Amino acid sequence: MSVLAFVLLAAMLVTYALLDGYDLGVGAVVHLFARSDEERGAAIASIGPFWNGNEVWLIAAGGVLFAVFPRAYASSFSGFYLPFMIVLWLLIFRGISLELRSHYPNRLWHDFWDWAFSLSSGSLALLLGVALGNLIAGLPLDEHATFVGSFALLLNPYALAVGAFSLLVLALHGWCYLRMSLPDAPVRLSIGRGLSLAVLLLDVLVTALTIVAHPMGGPRLAIAGLLGFAAFAAFCAAGIMLRREKSVVAFGATSAGIVALLGAAVATVYPYLIPSSTRYPGLTIFDSVPNSAALAGIVPVVVVGLIIVYTYLFLVVRRLIRVRDPKNVGVSLAE
Q: Mean pLDDT: which of 37-41, 114-118, 321-325 is highest?
A: 114-118
Over residues 189-206, mean pLDDT: 90
pLDDT at 57 over 60: yes
Question: What pLDDT is attached to residue 320?
Answer: 62
Question: What pLDDT is attached to residue 334?
Answer: 37
Task: Look up the pTM and report it.
Answer: 0.88
pLDDT at 161 over 90: yes
How many domains are contained in the chain?
1
Q: What is the mean pLDDT of the chain?
A: 84
Nearest to 1 by CA among 292, 244, 218, 231: 292
Is residue 26 left, alpha or beta, with left meaning phi > 0 and alpha meaning psi from -120 to 50?
alpha
- Structural domain including 172 reads 2-334
In tens, the pLDDT along 115-136 reads 999 999 999 999 999 989 988 8
Question: What pLDDT is attached to residue 322?
Answer: 61
pLDDT at 330 over 50: no
Single-letter residue type at 56: V
Do you find a cis peptide bond into 271, omega within 30 degrees of 0? yes
Question: What pLDDT is attached to residue 220?
Answer: 78
